[in-house]
Amino acid sequence: MSTQPIAQKSAAPSESIITGKSIGQHLLACLHAAGAHHIFGVPGDYVLRFYEQITQSPIRHIGTTREDTAAFAADGYARCQGIGALAVTYGVGALNVVNAVAGAYAESSPVVVISGAPGVREQREDPLIHHRFGPFTFQREIFDRITCASAVLDDPVMAFRQIERAITAAKHLSKPVYIELPRDMVEVEGYKVPADPMQELISDDAALAEAVAETVELLNKAVTPIVIAGVEVHRRGLQDALVDLIEHANLPIAATLTGKSVIAERHPAYIGVYEGAMCSENTRYLVEQSDLLLMLGVTLNDVDTGIYTARLDPNRMVRVAQGEVIIRHHRYPRVALGDFLYALAHSVHTRKESLPELPPIVGAPGFPEHGRPMSIARLIGRLNAALTSDLMVICDIGDCLFAALELRVHERTEFLASAFYTTMGFAVPAALGAQIARPDRRALILVGDGAFQMTGTELATHCTLGLAPIVIIFNNRGYSTERFILDGPFNDISEWRFDRLGEVFGPLRGFDAPTEDQFETALTHALAHRSPYIINVHLDPADPSPAMRRLAEHLRNRVGGI
């Protein structure tokens, strides 16, 4: 088998020259060129000089109510734009974003974390300085664990090279990176030095050809082949190649939960989200009876396998990820996912068999029934009818996420969630970033009452910026997932009057919706007017979605040691 060397990016001119551009200006120029046209964050004294440079650049600063919500917003922005950025101060600011950045790492979202820092001279001469929590190296060491690259810009000779390498890593690896900018280096002129080559995977031609040939042979023999597409297809921007493949080959396709909306969910080949015992019976049957599963960019984590309730036979599987193809007991290394998709689409034969009958879209017949209490199943059915091509769904975790398995969005990349890392409080701030990145879309935010109480203050920023989200509060008076695993008073939370938050947040219209007819009135108003709405949907704590009930039972057994 022949091999090819790892590709290297072309180097910059060999001479080192001063550019007349400061380190902060170069950082902003590189971010803008990469696609980050907004920076989220909260100012602090160690980052104020950089903030001043932001105001003089083409990049717009979006102030948030907290640092962690800035990171969630940058994550949502990155999933839509290909890269996102946030800027915070040292210590108290940067440490506040650790959870959200860890989530971006787990979910493969390219977020650039910029932290101001005490000046180089301050660190040397005045170590007892505020916001410090130990040796000055500690903060970078923390972020080293949750980013794919990090840099401290304390050397003007190397700073430009470090910036370019970090941003390239974020784009190439689809992971967060960390850049620390001492405040006395922001306006220091930097040097243009030869680029630091980044290794990129070039597919081994022989391995690629053999992997494609074996896959084509299996597809030709298969009677009921199905594609399962995962999150890696999302993050590497390979949706067009995916659609070309399934349309050319006439193959049905399912998505994983973390890959939900990797394809338009009203596409005739789409059969739903596969998540083991958590998904619909129709989707589960089609996937598990298939004689060949083409797994593209799928991570077999516990969420995507329905807490390992998936029944998938490796002997009937072709697994393709970035860097390798595994076909039964054959492994083909050094094969890029994109190269495989393009090559297979041009090699596979069009199947003459009809696609499986599309599963019906879950609805709510007869909605609204006057005086009927709201239920999760009926709520999801009504939202399915309300979804249009200009609505994108940003979903928090808990029962709203499991219920949303049944939602059918119109276009691809119109469903965002922290589906694998499952951090509460993702949706409201992530929707801020997503709407700024995609101004042609309106956000439908699905969030539980507990998650909203964590980060819902960011709804004020939506209102201030003139955005028009529709926020649906799944109000079951506590932490519903934990209740169904192990109930106790620790799962209860305080009750908020969500419908009255407009009195605090600004131009926000609120509705209280304990019944179907009240919800219908609220939703009709919200859809008819492009302004921010929040609808407080009262749900019985004992009324979980079917997926939640099945999931909770499996988790209960694990917590109880069964």
7: pLDDT strictly greater than 50: no
Place of tokens 């990016």: 9
Q: For residue 481, what pLDDT band results from cuts at 50, 70 and 90?
A: confident
Overall average pLDDT of the 526-531 stretch = 96
Tokens of 529: 């007017």
Strand, coil or helix: 272: strand
9: pLDDT strictly greater than 50: no
Task: Produce one character per residue of 150-178: b if its CB has 16 or more CB atoms within 10 Å, e if not.
Answer: bbbbbbeebbbbbbbbbbbbbbbbbbbbb
Overall average pLDDT of the 255-268 stretch = 94
Q: For residue 554, what pLDDT band results from cuts at 50, 70 and 90?
A: low
Place of tokens 């929590």: 133
Distance CA 511, CA 526 (A): 10
Q: Mean pLDDT across the chain, nearest whole number?
A: 91
Task: Produce one character per residue of 80-102: b if its CB has 16 or more CB atoms within 10 Å, e if not.
Answer: bbbbbbbbbbbbebbbbbbbbbb
What tens digit of pLDDT does each residue of 199-230 get? Answer: 778 999 999 999 999 999 999 999 999 999 99
For each of the domains in the chain, give its residue range(s) and CATH number, in order of start. Answer: 12-194 (3.40.50.970), 205-345 (3.40.50.1220), 376-554 (3.40.50.970)
| Nearest to 368, CA basis, from 359, 356, 357, 381 | 381
User: 331 forms bridges with which residues in the sheet?
Assistant: 326
Contact (Cβ atoms closer than 8 angstroms) between residue 245 and residue 227: yes
Contact (Cβ atoms closer than 8 angstroms) between residue 24 and residue 190: no
Tokens of 299: 């991570």
467: pLDDT strictly greater than 60: yes
User: 446 forms bridges with which residues in the sheet?
Assistant: 395, 472
Peptide bond into 368 cis (omega under 30): yes
pLDDT value for 560: 53
pLDDT value for 114: 98
1: pLDDT strictly greater than 70: no
359 DSSP 8-state letter? P
154: pLDDT strictly greater than 90: yes
pLDDT value for 11: 34
14: pLDDT strictly greater than 50: no
141: pLDDT strictly greater than 50: yes
Reported residue count of the chain is 562
**φ/ψ (deg, to 5) at 396:** -85, -175
- Which H helix or E strand runs over 471? strand 470-475
Strand, coil or helix: 511: strand
Parallel, antiparallel, or unpaired: how do β-strands 38-41 and 17-22 relate? unpaired
6 DSSP 8-state letter? P
